[in-house]
Amino acid sequence: FLSSADDENKQNRRGQSPPTQQSGDQDGDEMMSRAGMWLMLAACAGVMVSMAAGDSQERVQGAFVHVHKDFEVFEGQVGKEMVFSVEIHNMGEGDAYNVDFFDDAIQGENGKAFKLKEGSFKNHFDKIEAGDYVTFKQVIVPLVPGPLLIPSSVVTYTEEKSGGKKISVVGSVDGFNVLTTAQANTKTLLNVGRYASFGFCKTLADWLRLAAIVGGIAAITLTKSTFTKAKAMGESRRRKQAMKALGVEDLKDN
């Protein structure tokens, strides 16, 4: 009787085990599906936010003006012209009216650090349409060597043709170095020499070292040549003395 009861208990335990394992598997699958659903929802929300942000940043409502200068060279030379291209862009959706350009800060250096040869420090445009731009040139001649700072330009405009509130924008600060004629010529020679020396001599110090090496080699070669010549003259003199002692000094030295 006890043996049959134990067998029955074992069968009951065996029969109850699989349902417990199946229930755990179902709970895990349900949690994974919920996590996947939340991840999908978060990804969709992120895409929608990025699309909305992109749409809002495509174009600015109304006029949006930007001013900057382009240099043809980034290093000047005393007495030589430098050309600046001033560009005023309207990157907004509306037209810009009564556009005024001012270079008052740099105008104060005219006649000191440089002189204005062509162009103007002020300019006016009645209208710059949306997406369009205007450009004009300034030609200056540096007068002194060293760093030359180009202060910010200022542009004012209105969004109404009849006037109204003036909107002001400020350009970036730029600068470049001005060389003397001797410095410019030295730099040109160094650039040429860099190619002639296959890139080994890039600075004046490199050329001085090369000149010292070449001079040393030349001195050694000249000393050796002089020694060889002096040695040959001494041997010739001794040979003539020996021939004279033998009484055959009338023979030619071959």
Tens digit of each residue's pLDDT (9 = 90 or more) over 207-243 = 566 567 666 666 677 666 666 776 677 777 777 777 7
- Quote the pLDDT of residue 81: 92
- Quote the pLDDT of residue 76: 87
Is residue 164 within 8 Å of residue 105, measured between CB atoms? no
CA distances from 143 to 73, 104, 110, 118 (A): 16, 19, 10, 15
Compute the distance between CA of residue 172 and CA of residue 72 in angstroms, rounded to an integer. 17
- Quote the pLDDT of residue 169: 94
Residue stretches of the chain with pLDDT short of 50: 1-3, 5, 15-21, 49, 53, 55-57, 254
Nearest-Å Rg of the Cα atoms of the chain is: 45
- Quote the pLDDT of residue 184: 83
- Quote the pLDDT of residue 126: 95
- Quote the pLDDT of residue 173: 84
For CA atoms 230, 232, 238, 243, the dihedral sign is negative
Q: What is the pTM of this model?
A: 0.53
